[in-house]
Structure 1
Amino acid sequence: MERRRRHATIIGSVALLAVTVGCTADGDATATPAGQSTVSAAPAAAGLPQVVARLQPSVVTVRTGQGLGSGVVFRDGGLVLTNEHVVGDQREVELALADGTRVPARVVAADAVTDLAVLRAERTDLPPAPLRAELPAPGEPVVALGSPLGFLNSVTAGIVSGVGREIPGSASQGNALVDLIQTDAAISPGNSGGALADYSGRVVGINDAYLPPQTGAVSIGFAIPVATAVDIADDLLDDGKVTQPYLGVAVTRLTAEIARSLGAATDRGVLVRAVAGDGPAAAAGLRPGDIITGLAGDRTETLEGFLGALRGVEPGQRLPVTYLRGSDRRSTTVTPTAATR
């Protein structure tokens, strides 16, 4: 079966900072942890409570033997997305709903590398949240919904601080969390697995982790883009596992200013920010400062285009790459390997 995939393990993060997953609220959480967006106009501030009220029935609290986290109903039939670190090795959990009721749920499948898990509630009438496939733009206002530190149905607000982020140190601890949404909406233990939503009430991400204050950070949190999460959930539902291709390259948005500084003739492409020394991209000859304009036969004029070109890519598949190095147009072939835990 051909798999739909928006997420790939692009580059392992360097262990620079301790990162705390906003997972269970029992105090045991420790260090671990795209193109043009179609952005809906934000409603007036007076309408935000109504937007939150409509979305809250689709956001649940996930109770386990070790503590609690959050989850998002993403499909009919009681299917819920949450983080793998929320459920751990549990196979049966309890969901606390916005109306105060509780319902048992089963862990269908989980993946530690992508830090995602799919639950199936015993109630099949839970309302799926509206989902937004496009990445939000930096500066766009967002709200985070979940149950931080056991405060059920909590809401915090902020903006999108950036996209295409990776969690520092995640690769060294067994995860490889990349291509994330960064936000300054407060995320705390218990928020993990909850919703990051735009001001029209559509979920744009699944909250995952934050940098704790002892690192010197102030309101730096991360969410997995919901399109990535749903594609991974489809793999988990189909096969019970996710196989991630590893390219060994970190890419970011290319601006006109950066393109000019590099002497490039175009600002349409994605900038290679870092290359793992022993990864497939390095073996293919890619270097920091290169501008990737095509991957696997698809044009990659934007970050979303690059990530979209990775859909269906399997480890071992030879991928043609076109890129610019300064004003020189070049091509090569990269063969991704399988990501390791």
Structure 2
Amino acid sequence: MPGPLRIATLTAVLLTGAVSGCTSIFAPQPGATSSRDATPAPGPSAPGEAMSIPDLVDAVEPSVVTIFTGGGLGSGVVYTAGGAIITNEHVVRGATEVDVAFADGQRVAGTVVATDPIVDIAVVQADRTGLPPAEFTTELPEVGEAAVVIGSPLGFTNTVTSGIISALHREIPGSASSGQSLVDLIQTDAAISPGNSGGAVVNLRGQIIGISEAYIPPSAGAVALGFAIPAATATEVADQLLEDGTAEHAFLGLRPGAITPQIAEQLGVPQDDGVVVLSVVDGGPADEAGLRPGDVLVRLDDEELRSPEDLLGSLRRRDPGDAVTIEYLRGSEPQTTEATLDARPR
């Protein structure tokens, strides 16, 4: 257990926030890139060519903004030339109007267009056009690849930190208990601090590979443990939010819980990892598949389930309508069932 997780938004009273999370289903498409309404911000290098960090900052910094709310600030990334900005939902939570500050010093009004608390992505419309959209890649980075973080930590706008990609598909143990689990994240050792939330994690080709999300603070014994939402997930959700104000997520129709040795003994199951079914939604996919409270899920298709975060991370990589095979224990008896995922109720 890595200790308390901190959402990287700067508030007026506290430098850190509460645990947040997500349970969605947008899988990367290798090799694809996405940039809306205009070409990416110009840089000194040809497309696909690695840049020096100073050249990268010159190319990407105009596409990274600071978002001010009534209670604090976060960061954001320009998505369209017409002023759409991607940020975290928790940056703008509770706000309908914000201010957006750009690297050139201009500060304009912004409106929160739509939010998705499941994935923790929001779209803000800035009152400015002719902007340089960032280039988002839907290809996951490689572990060990260089990573540059640009944002406004502690209100220090246009701050740049660098490191590497430390891991992929990270899940934060225990985060599912908050109702929003942080799953399928990119881990980096590039410094992420309060105020970085919603900002850019960039590769050396100047492409956005992630949206800064959270970090584990040094007080928990961590050194350089930061997390980002993959760019593929962020853009998939943003496109849906721009289209009709909502995003679809795969839904199994049960409430998952962590299994402990004590629970395993009570249920008579021969293991102390897996996902215990705490409740089942009437008429939902789990109910129709015959699952019931007390069952312990151990595998979804070919993915082993050791924790609730494993289950929610697996669901994130699937779409409503997908059929899945579920292996589970009812007492000591192994069982298998099939379920067709629904869209999460709105």
Fold equivalence (TM over 0.5): yes
**CA distance change for structure 1 residues 91 and 214 in 2, over 3 Å: closer, same or farther?**
same
Equivalent position of 2:17 in the other structure: 30
- Give the structure 1 partner of residue 237 of structure 2: 232
Unaligned runs of 5+ in 2: 21-26, 33-46, 257-272, 281-285, 305-313, 328-335
In the aligned structure 2, how far is the partner of 1:285 from the partner of 1:244? 23
Could you say what secondary structure the match of 1:228 adopts? helix
Q: Indicate the SS of the match to 2:276.
A: coil
Match of 2:175 in 1: 170
SS where residue 131 of structure 1 aligns? strand
Distance 1:223 1:127 in 2: 22
Q: What percent of counterpart residues are identical?
A: 46
Match of 1:208 in 2: 213
Cα 1:63–1:36, aligned 2, differ >3 Å: closer, same or farther? closer
Deviation at 1:173, TM superposition (A): 1.9
User: Cα offset for 1:242?
Assistant: 2.7
Alignment map for 1:261-300 (pairs within 5 Å):
275-278=274-277, 280=286, 283=291, 287=298, 291=302
Note the alpha carbon deviations across 1:247-267, whole angstroms, 9 max, x for none. 58x9xxxxxxxxxxxxxxxxx
Give the conservation status (yes or no) of the 8 Å contact 1:32–1:169.
no
Q: Decide which of 320, 323, 328 is 1:319's aligned counterpart.
A: 323
The Cα of 1:99 is off from its aligned counterpart by 0.4
Partner of 1:123 in structure 2?
Answer: 128
Q: Which has the larger radius of gyration?
A: 2
Note closer, same or farther for the CA distance 1:41–1:219 as it changes in structure 2 (3 Å cut): farther
1:43 counterpart letter in structure 2: A
1:25 shift after superposition: 4.6
Residues 80-138 of structure 1: CA distance to partner in whole angstroms, max 9, x if unpaired? 00011111111110111000110111100112221111011111211100111100011
CA RMSD of aligned residues (A): 3.5
SS of 2:157's partner is coil
Out of 48-57 and 19-28, give the one that drifted further: 19-28
2 CA distance for matches of 1:131 and 1:240?
A: 21
8 A contact 2:326–2:339 mirrored in 1: no
TM-aligned CA deviation for residue 287 of structure 1: 2.6
Counterpart amino acid of residue 117 in structure 2: A
Per the alignment, in what secondary structure is the counterpart of residue 232 of structure 1? helix
Counterpart for residue 36 of structure 2:
none
Compared CA separation, residues 103 and 166, structure 1 to 2 (3 A): same
Secondary structure of 1:287's aligned partner = strand
Could you tell me how far apart the structure 2 residues matched to 1:155 and 1:282 are?
A: 51
On the 8 A contact 1:57/1:99 being kept in 2, the answer is yes
2:2 and 2:216 in contact (8 A); partners too: no
Are residues 339 and 161 of structure 1, via their aligned partners in 2, closer, same or farther at CA, if it must alter by over 3 Å?
farther
Distance in 1 of aligned mates of 2:325 and 2:28: 18
Segments of structure 1 that go 5 or more residues without pairing to the other structure are: 1-14, 251-273, 294-305, 324-330
Mapped pair 1:18 → 2:1: no
Cα distance in 1, alignment partners of residues 163 and 99 from structure 2: 29
Q: For the residues of structure 1 that align with 2:145 and 2:168, how far apart are their CA atoms? A: 11
- The Cα of 1:183 is off from its aligned counterpart by 0.6
Alpha-carbon distance change, 38 to 137 in structure 1, aligned in 2, over 3 angstroms: farther
1:60 aligned counterpart, secondary structure: strand
